[in-house]
Amino acid sequence: MYGPPPPVMSPAPPARSVGVLRVGLWVLVAVALVGGVGIFAFIPLTVLAARSRGTRDLVLVVASFVFSVVSILVTALQHDPNHPTLGYELVALAMLLHGIVATIWFVVSDLRHLRHLRALRQVPPFPSPFAPPVPPPYAPSFAPPPVQQDRLGQVRAELDELSDYLRREQGR
């Protein structure tokens, strides 16, 4: 009843290991897609577009998908796989670069999106367990205010007068 109110408990941030595993998994998927010569590089971009809901990301997904389909068609129309032409080699190089750029774009945009979400919550990412707790600014102090001797004497005198008055009233 008296004293400071209980502190407001904010939800605990997710464990750091969960975040590291999540980012590590996505990097592994993105690297595997680069190893797939960039054919499926639009998949992490699709995840990014679904998460951020931005038109720029959606345009990048469509452009990446169209590039993947066109590059697959160009390589499929290669007549002699034993003697590749310069166009075939340029398409293969472009597919590899496409996968690398899509992976870098995904990782950077995902980290930027997470930083934006963390800033919206305005919660420090990982509070230090060694930092002393900071009391809320509205917590009252428990020390009584300093009493002035003049005021104390005045109150005693008033109480004496009151008790004299009550004694006289009882004696009537």
| Per-residue pLDDT band at 126 (split at 50, 70, 90) | low
Backbone φ and ψ for 77, nearest 5 degrees, come out as -85, 0
Q: Which domain holds residue 68?
A: 16-121
Query: Rounded mean pLDDT of the chain?
Result: 76
In a domain, 65, yes or no: yes
Number of domains into which the chain is organized: 1
The reported pLDDT for the residue numbered 71 is: 86
In a domain, 74, yes or no: yes
The pTM of this model reads: 0.49
User: For 56-76, what is the mean pLDDT?
Assistant: 87
Question: Is it the case that residue 160 has pLDDT exceeding 90?
Answer: yes
More confident residue, 40 or 163: 163
Question: Is it the case that residue 133 has pLDDT exceeding 70?
Answer: no
In a domain, 151, yes or no: no
